[in-house]
């Protein structure tokens, strides 16, 4: 039964949990920004992220090699002691979602995405974001477009409760296509050392809760764009999965910023583990915070996969495993709590829904 028939996920090989805060912990993830290939006919075989130009396995291999140079790398963010606290830092970009902004000539939301991708990473350690820096690079500066991008960044910082401290604008003639730019963001937060979320206390029987995404967020757009080409759908066409917006407007819906929700939960309930569902989906990201010897059982009926993802799978003939490894499929953040705290957590955040339970074993299975 496919994702278009029932909300479910499957297990993949478990990754070792990395990046525990001891003295200083670094973070590094790899995102391939390949723009993908044009497709003119419906695929005889299912589309994949790799066929769209993004090789997750190659990125994983690079991280493994980097870990040989610095074994502490691998968490969602990096931590360094600072008095009785940790400073927590993360960096990310928006990826090829920017191509949609260029084509739609709509630049006021990708700045929110930029902030979200970094702050959502550092809050997995329990850190409150303090400040944000941006890097904006383009071939020839379009002041109006750049202003709209920065307005989005300011909006994202307000949602996160942090300050836009500064940034860099780089004009690089001949390096980018006309009308295009790239973005990178850098967030720094802080958390008391006795409040750090490490995942170390997670045990069998703990409950896994989910927070809904707003859509594709900022991962998997090389595959999204390839599906649109295969299906001959323009960004300006009505969204084929329904709703009253164009496909482009719906896909540009900004990434949810979970900062205030997570901070309230951690302060009032206490969280054992947090997982930002980005590239790799729940398939690869959940095992990053689960201790060795433990796995997670996820209920296939816990949530309804949004119509957007159902359409992408059907139009691209994408396998369930590929969908789950590429997209969030409707779940943007995962929370692990003690079973005694489930009711209290739901009282604080009515948007939480139960996904499953921590069990003895490894990896993620679906029941």
Taken in order of first residue, the domains within the chain and their CATH numbers are: 54-65+72-366 (3.90.650.10)
Tokens of 355: 């996904």
pLDDT digits (tens, 9 = 90+) for 316-329: 999 988 998 999 99
pLDDT of residue 47: 75
Do β-strands 128-138 and 163-171 pair in parallel, antiparallel, or remain unpaired?
A: parallel
User: Is-above-0.75 flag for pTM?
Assistant: yes
Distance of alpha carbon 235 from its chain centroid, rounded?
A: 22
The answer to whether the beta carbons of residues 40 and 290 sit under 8 Å apart is no
pLDDT of residue 303: 94
The answer to whether the beta carbons of residues 209 and 262 sit under 8 Å apart is no
E strand intervals along the chain: 78-82, 85-93, 128-138, 163-171, 181-192, 207-212, 273-276, 294-298, 331-337, 353-360, 363-366
pLDDT digits (tens, 9 = 90+) for 239-268: 999 999 999 999 999 999 999 999 999 999
Helices 259-268 and 143-160: crossing angle in degrees, nearest 10, is: 10
Low-confidence ranges of the chain (pLDDT < 70): 1-45, 48-64, 66-76
Q: What's the CA gap between 34 and 356, in Å, rounded?
A: 35
Mean pLDDT of the chain: 86
pLDDT of residue 56: 60
Q: Which helix (H) or strand (E) holds 326?
A: helix 320-326
Nearest to 287 by CA among 28, 1, 6, 13: 13
């Amino acid at each position: 039964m496919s994702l278009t028939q029932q909300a479910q996920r499957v297990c993949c090989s478990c990754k070792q949990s990395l990046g525990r805060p001891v003295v200083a912990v670094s973070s590094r993830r790899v995102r391939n920004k390949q723009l993908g290939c044009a497709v003119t006919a419906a695929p005889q075989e299912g589309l994949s992220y790799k066929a769209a130009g993004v090789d997750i396995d190659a990125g994983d291999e690079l991280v493994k090699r980097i870990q040989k140079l610095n074994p502490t790398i691998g968490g969602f963010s990096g931590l360094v002691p600072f008095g009785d606290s940790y400073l927590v830092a993360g960096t990310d970009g928006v990826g090829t979602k920017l191509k949609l902004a260029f084509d739609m000539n709509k630049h006021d939301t990708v700045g929110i995405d930029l902030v979200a991708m970094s702050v959502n990473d550092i809050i997995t350690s329990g850190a409150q974001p303090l400040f944000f820096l941006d890097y904006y690079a383009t071939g020839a500066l379009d002041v109006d477009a750049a202003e709209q991008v920065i307005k989005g960044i300011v909006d994202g910082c307000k949602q996160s409760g942090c300050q836009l401290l500064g940034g860099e604008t780089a004009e690089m003639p001949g390096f980018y296509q006309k009308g295009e730019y790239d973005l990178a963001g850098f967030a720094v937060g802080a958390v008391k050392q006795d409040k750090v979320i490490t995942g170390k206390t997670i045990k069998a029987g703990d409950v896994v809760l989910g927070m809904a995404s707003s859509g594709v967020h900022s991962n998997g757009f090389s595959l999204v764009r390839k599906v649109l080409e295969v299906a001959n759908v323009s960004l300006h066409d009505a969204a084929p999965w329904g709703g009253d917006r164009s496909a482009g407007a719906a896909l540009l819906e900004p990434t949810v910023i979970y900062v205030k929700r997570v901070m309230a939960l951690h302060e009032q309930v206490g969280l054992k583990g947090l997982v930002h569902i980005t590239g790799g989906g729940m398939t690869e990201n959940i095992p990053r915070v689960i201790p060795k010897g433990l796995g997670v059982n996820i209920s296939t009926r816990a949530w309804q996969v949004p119509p957007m993802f159902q359409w992408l799978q059907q139009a691209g003939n994408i396998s369930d495993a590929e969908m789950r490894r590429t997209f969030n499929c409707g779940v943007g953040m995962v929370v692990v709590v003690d079973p005694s705290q489930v009711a209290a957590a739901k009282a604080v955040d009515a948007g939480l829904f139960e996904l499953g339970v921590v069990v003895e074993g490894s990896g993620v299975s679906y029941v």
